Amino acid sequence: MKRLEGKTAIITGAGAGIGEATAKLFAAQGAKLSLCDVAEEQLGKVVSDIKAEGAEVVPVRCNVADEGDVKNMISTTLEAFGKIDILINNAGITRDTLTPRMKEEDWNLVIDVNLKGSFLCAKYALAKMERGGKVVNTASIAVLGNKGQVNYSASKMGVIGMTRTLALEYARKKICVNCIAPGAIDTPMLQSVPEKMREAMIGKIPLGQAIAPVEIARAHLFLSSDEANFITGQTLFVDGGMSIGI
């Protein structure tokens, strides 16, 4: 029995990295997928890979920080599949630099995409979500503090607060809202970190290596499945022990 048979899932930022890995795992587990990204060409490749495996999938060009785009993503999903069971709020960006050099526009952009974008997707997906629905948000190991990421760590700490509040507000509808906090995951986002810093980060992982995106996809799968029906408001660190070793 496939673990997401009969479920419809929206995954944001599905064109690369963790979102792509999650889309592929969810498709293999029987989910119907609405996949969103700003990078249409990248998303197109992921969608054709998944279609080739026989899964039902709809691509949507959507900037999660744009309310009109998010509303369109929700209505496109409902037109295609008639319901929404799962939202994986995965799209996220970094604009790293130390505080004295951080421009207001870099602060605003990161907060807009990571925090407001997650809020908008959650707000409009939850409004249409079935009883028993699941939302999985994305924080980061950076919530513990990371030099050069004042905007990013603040946005991700905001996501944790949002997760706890949404969990309380939607519990009466038996909808669970949780959050994953990835450590150093081997994706284009991690590749964009200067090599010296990347090596230093990986050196802090007790389990000894950067984590493959599929490991986060597996945590998404668990928190999106009926096996997690009584877990809500939680943040799960998937970080090879980095958060306890820091």
Ligand X SMILES: NC(=O)c1ccc[n+]([C@@H]2O[C@H](COP(=O)([O-])OP(=O)(O)OC[C@H]3O[C@@H](n4cnc5c(N)ncnc54)[C@H](O)[C@@H]3O)[C@@H](O)[C@H]2O)c1
Chain residues that interact with ligand X, rule: CB under 6 A: 12-13, 15-19, 36-39, 42, 62-65, 90-93, 113, 117, 138, 140-141, 182, 184-185, 187-190
User: What residues act catalytically?
Assistant: 152
- In whole angstroms, give the CA distance from residue 234 to residue 130: 20
Chain Cα centroid distance, residue 89:
4
**Of 23 and 228, which has the nearer Cβ to ligand X?**
23
- The neighbouring-strand residues paired with 33 are 9, 57
With 0-12 / 13-18 / 19 or more C-beta atoms within 10 angstroms meaning exposed / middle / buried, residue 234 is: middle
Sign of the Cα pseudo-torsion (232, 217, 68, 150, in order) = positive
**Of 171 and 200, which has the nearer Cβ to ligand X?**
200
**Of 4 and 189, which has the nearer Cβ to ligand X?**
189
Least spacing, CB of residue 137 vs ligand X, in Å: 9
Least spacing, CB of residue 206 vs ligand X, in Å: 16
Query: Are 19 and 43 spatial neighbours (Cβ–Cβ below 8 Å)?
Result: no
Q: How far is CA 150 from CA 21, 98, 131, 155, 173, in A?
A: 28, 8, 37, 9, 35
Which parts of 29-149 fold into alpha helices (H)? 40-52, 67-81, 104-110, 117-126
Least spacing, CB of residue 162 vs ligand X, in Å: 13
**Of 15 and 133, which has the nearer Cβ to ligand X?**
15
**Of 20 and 85, which has the nearer Cβ to ligand X?**
20
Q: What's the number of CA atoms in the CB half-sphere (13 Å) around residue 129?
A: 26
Minimal CA–CA distance to 186: which of 210, 209, 157, 151? 210
Minimal CA–CA distance to 18: which of 175, 242, 239? 239
Least spacing, CB of residue 131 vs ligand X, in Å: 27
Least spacing, CB of residue 5 vs ligand X, in Å: 26
